[in-house]
Structure 1
Amino acid sequence: MSVQLVAEGKELITESEQGSVHQQVINGKLVYLTISHKLCEAKVSLFGGQVVSWQPNGHREVFWLSKKSAFDQSRPIRGGIPICWPWFGPLVNETSHGFARNSDWQLGDIQLNPDGVVVQLSLGKSTHPNWQGTFQLIQTLQFSDTFSQALTMKNLSAEAQNLSFALHSYFAVSDPELVTIPSLADSTYENKVSGLKQCQQVGQASGLGPVDNIYQNSKSATLIDKGWGRAIEINKSNANQWVLWNPGPETAAGMADVHQHGEQEFVCLEAANTQWFALDAGAEITASQEIKVYNL
Structure 2
Amino acid sequence: MPDSVDGRAGIDVHLVERLIAAQFPHWRGLPVTPVEHDGWDNRTYRLGDEMTVRLPAAAGYALAIAKERRWLPRLAPALPIQVPVILADGAPDLGYPFPWSVRRWIQGETADRAPVDDMTGLAVSMAEFLRALHRCDTTAAPAAGAHSFHRGTPPSYYDQQTRYCLNALTHCIDTTLAATIWENALATEWDRSPVWFHGDLVPTNLLVDDGKLTAIIDFGTCGVGDPACDLVLAWTLLSGDSREAFRRAVDQDEGTWARARGWALRKAMLTLTDHDAADRDHTTRTGSR
Query: With structure 1 as the length reference, what TM-score do the two structures score?
Result: 0.27
TM-score, normalized by length of structure 2? 0.28
- The structure with higher relative contact order (CA 8 Å, sep 6+) is 2
Structure with the larger strand share: 1
Relative to its length, the structure with more helix (as a share) is 2
